[in-house]
Amino acid sequence: NAGVTQTPKFQVLKTGQSMTLQCAQDMNHNSMYWYRQDPGMGLRLIYYSASEGTTDKGEVPNGYNVSRLNKREFSLRLESAAPSQTSVYFCASTFAHGYTFGSGTRLTVV
């Protein structure tokens, strides 16, 4: 089925470890986004990519890096995980109207 696929769905990291969250969409969308959602809060934008080859910081970029590998894929990397990065991470994509979200990655940093 067409949509946004995120991997992994769950991950536990130790403080200081690194990891990459993967996101891929098969809808030929130009723009892709990474958000984090903390308990009781809305979604906060980490990074976005308006088109292939471009990336820009969002509201909370510190501690993260991104790569727009091609039009389909947009990855989020944590170089040195911290407990404050415990959250649910959502990837989204859009062409003109309306976001399509992935199912999320629940990340715990201990």
Partner 1 sequence: GIQVEQSPPDLILQEGANSTLRCNFSDSVNNLQWFHQNPWGQLINLFYIPSGTKQNGRLSATTVATERYSLLYISSSQTTDSGVYFCAVDAPGTYKYIFGTGTRLKVLA
Alpha-carbon dihedral sign for residues 37, 2, 71, 6: positive
Residue 109 CA to its chain's centroid (Å): 16
Shortest CB 80 distance to partner 1, Å: 25
Closer to partner 1 at the Cβ: 1 or 14?
1
The site for partner 1 (CB under 8 A) is made up of 31, 33, 35, 40-45, 48, 50, 56, 58-59, 88, 90, 92, 97-101, 103-104
Shortest CB 16 distance to partner 1, Å: 27
Closer to partner 1 at the Cβ: 24 or 43?
43
Shortest CB 33 distance to partner 1, Å: 7
For the chain, what's the residue count? 110
Query: What gap in Å lies between CA 71 and CA 62, rounded to an integer?
Result: 24
Query: What gap in Å lies between CA 97 and CA 15, rounded to an integer?
Result: 38
